[in-house]
Structure 1
């Protein structure tokens, strides 16, 4: 690929759960996300703060990485908000055990007169981490994301938080994420070892070449340390398989109308 690889994430036990980074823990996973955090901060510079996270298809670990990156940034003492912008299939409620699925950013996008900050919740993971879930699944997700309500929402969040993490839909299946790209400063594309097809990097390189996503970089997820003989390799691997995702995402196909089943 022509885009920077900002980190590798180790394979973890699927029983561990979605949260892998904790305060005052110096394990491999925490160190891995510190490394990714440092690389992304270097790419962002001082005045940019909106990070978009996406993948090609479901099961590659984008919500896992979004959540743990947000936690890692919050442990620096920074105020961080993670936004569920995969509004067709919101996933942050499950990651952070949020029971009220009807409360979220779709309420604001449908009615920008609402107070956005009333929809933001403090997480129980870190005192500096806030969550703005996806909310009720709308009948017109693409149209909602194309409106200027999204631009206004991100501007409001930028005024109130040091970092804004956007957990978005898989770019290989719908065009939603390409629309969201206009409000981001940096894009993290998640690929998963032994899962993502190598030819997906053709899509990643094309997105970078045509500037369809800003400052695109990639993370390799799910590297099995037991299969690596030399060096340090990071990844979390099989987690997506056990996270309730099948091969298909429930969207139909988006970018290029291609099927990305393993058999294809």
Structure 2
């Protein structure tokens, strides 16, 4: 399933009084409840964009959601451009509303499991392809296929980065201790009023502009369920096998990592 479109409200049916900035910020806060170091991974990601391809990149925001990466990209690099691609109709509605009128941004509705999805993009190559906390929805086999497709979209000298849950299965005691510590902090934040995933989607379903797209996204995806979370070594090796010259971790927390691959 593919559909192209710019970020203008008129083109996407988002020309309403809905406060899209508030929804964008609400999504960020909900995600930070799970990942308190979320901004740090974005900072390192953009540092490495500048280090590898400069301050005016053409970027593909892969599985873009509400456009969190694009938002930070354009605030740091005003001359950058971004194409966001996703299948989630609710998150894309927020993204299109939030970026309405910004000619640096366009969005494509596409299923990354559809082999034809790259054909819907406005460009055949990108300086950087960036993604965060999204590809864990895919099992290892379709993710391997996706990495091969991404390798054809990144120009020679360009970069791909994936920040996501990447577990080291060889350290179960460390993993258990980290998880217990993180969840204790999450419980405290929850008691203070933080929204979790289910709370956030319940609110979205009550918004007149998001109710329909939210119902559609649950028809497409169902409830959230983590899939594979292979190690950083698996990601780096698979990216090299897909056609990247170099790949390694450039940032990590006890549970997540940012893997960079250079074409």
Q: TM-score, normalised by structure 2?
A: 0.42
Normalising by structure 1, we get a TM-score of 0.42
Compare CA radii of gyration and give the structure with the larger one: 2
Asked which structure has the greater RCO (Cα within 8 Å, sep 6+), the reply is 1
Normalized per residue, the structure richer in helix is: 2
